Amino acid sequence: MNEKATYIVMLGPPGAGKGTQAKVLAEKMGLVHVSSGDLFRDNLSRETELGKLAHTFMVKGELVPDDVTIRMVKERISRPDCEKGAVLDGFPRTPAQAEALEKMLAETCHRVSVAPFISVPNETLVERLSGRWMSQSGRVYHATNNPPKVKWFDDVDGSPLYQRDDDKAETVRHRIDVYYQQTSPLIEYYRNKGVLVEVDGTQDIDRVTEDLLKAVRQ
């Protein structure tokens, strides 16, 4: 492992743009973007030992145990392409996972360099996420950012648009509440470690990227 490897833990509620920024940050810094969602999908599709193990819990509707997720992450960041470090997206989710990550990195004399938290007011998040509408053909619109030419109707075939249950305001508010209930201890964990940096996620995408780059290069 490279002595100067950089490990970044991205934090932010649903709708804050965390996944998008994690990809951009990884690309600009020459690091690997390690998304926990992608990691699960990859292990499941390749039917690895860990993928099969995770599947046994998922088919029962149970949460995949921490030790399985941790082993997946450890296997991924130990590959040669992560020699310079990684941008972690979706992991860790809890202080227990964060401590496991610290131990994992300590094995190669590394640690989390910075944990940027993309902060966005709840109502802005609700507006971003609940503004999404779909056409029957799968075209996606947004009430504010990408509205149809005729309100509530598809631009191509004129069919009425509909909103998925997941995109309804009450569902979105619940997702945000759950995120903060589960993740507040993790935010405090990294604050206490002195590596948490808050970034204003209400700015345009490029400005958020600029602020993130400044934060990780300090």
Q: What is the C-alpha to C-alpha distance for residues 128 and 88, in angstroms, rounded to an integer?
A: 23
List the catalytic residue out of 103, 151, 164, 207: 164
Active-site choice (74, 139, 175, 191): 175
Set 74, 93, 139, 173: catalytic member: 93
Q: What is the rounded distance in angstroms from the CA atom of residue 1 to the CA atom of residue 198?
A: 29
| Residue 191 a catalytic site member | no
Ordered DSSP codes for 135-195? -TTS-EEETTTB--SSTTB-TTT-PBPB--GGGSHHHHHHHHHHHHHHHHHHHHHHHHHT-
Known catalytic residue at 217: no
Residue written as token pair 């499941």: 44
Instruction: Work out the burial of residue 92: count CB atoms within 10 Å of its CB; fewer than 13 is exposed, 13-18 middle, 19 or more buried.
Output: buried
Contact 157, 164 (CB under 8 A): no
Q: Is 164 a catalytic residue?
A: yes
For the chain, where are the E strands, in sequence order?
6-10, 32-35, 85-89, 112-119, 132-134, 140-142, 196-200
> Whole-angstrom Cα distance, residue 93 to residue 50?
19
Number of CB atoms found within 10 A of residue 61's CB: 6
Place of tokens 């392409």: 81
Cα–Cα distance between 146 and 67 in angstroms, integer? 41
Q: Which residues are catalytic?
A: 18, 93, 132, 164, 175
